[in-house]
Amino acid sequence: MRQIPDALQAKLEDGVTTLCWCWRVERRDGAVFGFTSHDRDLSFDGADYRAQGGFEPGDIRRELGLSVDAGSVLGALNDDAITQADIAAGLWDEAAVTVFRVDWTEPEHRYAAWRGEIGETRRGALAFEAELRAPSHRLTQTTGRVYSRRCDADVGDARCGADLDDAAFKASGTVVEATGARVVVLDPALERLDVSGLSRQAPLSLAAGAPALSPYDEGATLTGAHWTGYALRPLSPAHLRGVRTAEGIEISWTRRTRIGGDDWAAPDVPLGETMEAYAVEIIKDGETALTLNASAPRALLANAQEIALFGGAASALEIRVSQLSGQWGAGAPAARVLYL
Under the banding of pLDDT at 50, 70 and 90, the label for residue 77 is very low
Higher local confidence (pLDDT), 85 or 295: 295
What are the extents of the domains in the chain? 6-140, 167-227, 238-339
Per-residue pLDDT reduced to its tens digit, 98-141: 989 899 998 998 888 888 888 777 766 566 677 778 776 666 66
Q: Identify the CA nearest to 195 among candidates 229, 231, 226, 167.
A: 229
Identify any residues that bridge with 177 across adjacent strands, giving them in sequence order.
185
What architecture is the 238-339 domain classified under in CATH? Sandwich (2.60)
Q: How many CB atoms lie within 10 A of CB 28?
A: 13
Residue 4 neighbours by CB under 8 Å, 6+ apart: 12, 111
DSSP calls for 288-312? EEEEEEESSSEEEEEHHHHHHHHSS
Q: How many CB atoms lie within 10 A of CB 313?
A: 12
Q: Is the pLDDT of residue 80 over 60?
A: yes
Higher local confidence (pLDDT), 57 or 301: 301
Higher local confidence (pLDDT), 6 or 291: 291
Q: What's the chain's Rg over C-alpha atoms?
A: 38
Per-residue pLDDT reduced to its tens digit, 206-256: 777 776 777 677 777 777 776 666 667 888 999 999 999 999 999 999 988
The pLDDT mean for the chain works out to 77
Q: What is residue 303's predicted lDDT score, i.e. its pLDDT?
A: 95
Per-residue pLDDT reduced to its tens digit, 253-289: 998 887 666 555 555 666 677 788 999 999 999 999 9
Residue 165's identity, in one-letter code, is D
The whole-angstrom separation of Cα 29 and Cα 95 is 9
- For residue 299, the number of C-alpha atoms closer than 13 Å in the C-beta half-sphere is 22
Q: How many CB atoms lie within 10 A of CB 218?
A: 7
Is the separation of the CB atoms in 50 and 70 below 8 Å?
no
Distance of CA 76 to the CA centre of its chain: 41
Residue 30 neighbours by CB under 8 Å, 6+ apart: none
Q: How many CB atoms lie within 10 A of CB 205?
A: 11
Which conformational region is residue 285 in: left (phi greater than 0), alpha (psi within -120 to 50 degrees), or beta? left
Q: Is the pLDDT of residue 294 over 90?
A: yes
Summarize the confidence of residues 3-30 as an average pLDDT: 83
Summarize the confidence of residues 301-314 as an average pLDDT: 94
Q: What is residue 320's predicted lDDT score, i.e. its pLDDT?
A: 96
The dihedral sign for the CA sequence 244, 245, 250, 252: negative
